[in-house]
Amino acid sequence: MKTAIILGRGIEGCGVTRYALEEQKWYHNNGIQCDIYAGSDKKWGRKDAQENNIIEFGNDEIKSLAKKLDKEYDIVYYQSLPAKKGHSEEYQNLFYDYLVCDVQRPIKLSHQNDHKAQSLSRNSKIWETMAQMDASFTHSLTSPFAQKMKEFNPKVPLIKMGLGFDFNSLRNYWKPAQTQKKRISYFGRFAGFKDPQRIIDMHEHLYAADIIGEMRGIERSIGSLDLFYSDLSDRVNSYRNNIYEVKKDEQVIQDSSRVWIYGPYQRLEGIEELSTSMFGADFYNLEAHAYGDNMEFAMCEIIGSGSIPVFDSHWAQNCKHNGVNFSEIKDFAVYSDRNDLKDTVNQMEELANDHHKRNARRERCFEIAKLHCDNEIVYSKMHNDALKVKKRNPKTHSISLF
């Protein structure tokens, strides 16, 4: 058996790339060939942030790749699609006409990673592409994507997808609890649904508890300006006085007087630094119907590297492990209510002052997370689900636009 994963948006270097690599790892560990192909029409700044063996293809290689996929592979996963903006019109058309429509023999399955309707709308020919699939994996069967599929492509089966992670691969990064820094690290790119702003909002409480706050992976962008300015209409006079932007290769001695903001990092270098922190933060929060009981990769990396996770309480109240809300599992993460950040820091301070208790808690976090979403559990189920998919009738190119 041979499987292929297609990154239509290219090597973004973030969660979608990580998903493809984690899924590929499962296939390789189980003796099944799995190749990842990514379009090179757009170059991404984080392309090399994660070690990978992804095969890039140019526009002039699309027709030959389509023939290869059709002839040699049994399952083709469409992990991401080209974007309407940022990719050339030529690439968008070639991708759909050849890599989607002309690949007929394999089972074709999409992996839909977008959580919001606005994000869905950025994908080129998304509903036409979904009409060409034999089935589609989605994080939640009640998400905006699932609702749109019922409207536009009701005959295409939807399958609940998980998010699997190789926790054991990071175990060697663990540091003795007593040597970890009294610090909370936000770990990941800027995204509103991850709420990095919360680290700045809780700074007064962190300072009172002498806990260092930092953010790693933050790039200046229109969306991230609130992190740097308290009033976007008056940037000259509103630069925050409790942050410090660390320049590339600059060496600083951190203290709790401010929040330290670092730019993009190489993944494994970032995990090494994260592992030296007592706490790791990812305030991932969505509409309740969108979670699908899944974590995201940054959450998994915090646990995998041996830091105590600090997660959003809304996520914990709306995601279950073995039928029990995470919020009811008291020996898992520190749960943060954005309306009571003092309580978040109080929970952290209690663990920071007791190395034995904190070590026991992170061991328990590791155990629960593996049971919930270890890559062997998640991808073996998804592979079996893929094998059950029935090939639909051959499609044509004459598909109405939605």
Confidence at residue 315, expressed as pLDDT on a 0 to 100 scale: 97
Question: Which long-range CB contacts under 8 A does 289-292 form with residues at least 24 apart?
Answer: 289/140, 289/142, 289/143, 290/115, 290/116, 290/139, 290/140, 290/142, 290/143, 290/144, 291/139, 291/140, 291/315, 291/318, 291/319, 292/138, 292/139, 292/140, 292/141, 292/143, 292/160, 292/161
Mean pLDDT score of the chain, rounded to an integer? 94
pLDDT tens digits, one per residue of 63-102: 999 999 999 999 999 999 999 999 999 999 999 999 999 9
Residue 381 has pLDDT above 60, yes or no: yes
Confidence at residue 393, expressed as pLDDT on a 0 to 100 scale: 62
Confidence at residue 402, expressed as pLDDT on a 0 to 100 scale: 33
81 three-state secondary structure: coil
Segment 359-375 mean pLDDT: 97
pLDDT tens digits, one per residue of 309-326: 999 999 999 999 999 999
Segment 115-121 mean pLDDT: 83
Query: What is the CB neighbour count within 10 angstroms for residue 263?
Result: 14
Confidence at residue 373, expressed as pLDDT on a 0 to 100 scale: 97
Contact 281, 295 (CB under 8 A): no
Spell out the alpha helix ranges (H) of 189-241. Answer: 197-201, 203-208
Residue 181 has pLDDT above 70, yes or no: yes
pLDDT tens digits, one per residue of 263-312: 988 899 999 999 999 999 999 999 998 899 999 999 999 999 999 999 99
pLDDT tens digits, one per residue of 101-116: 999 999 999 999 887 7
> What is each CA distance from 131 to 6, 265, 286, 401, in whole angstroms?
17, 38, 27, 11
pTM of structure: 0.93
Contact 132, 100 (CB under 8 A): yes
Confidence at residue 228, expressed as pLDDT on a 0 to 100 scale: 93
By CB atoms closer than 10 A (0-12, 13-18, 19+), residue 7 is buried
pLDDT tens digits, one per residue of 22-52: 999 999 999 999 999 999 999 898 888 898 9
First to last CA, the chain: 35
Confidence at residue 399, expressed as pLDDT on a 0 to 100 scale: 33
Q: Which two tokens stand for residue 132?
A: 């060409």
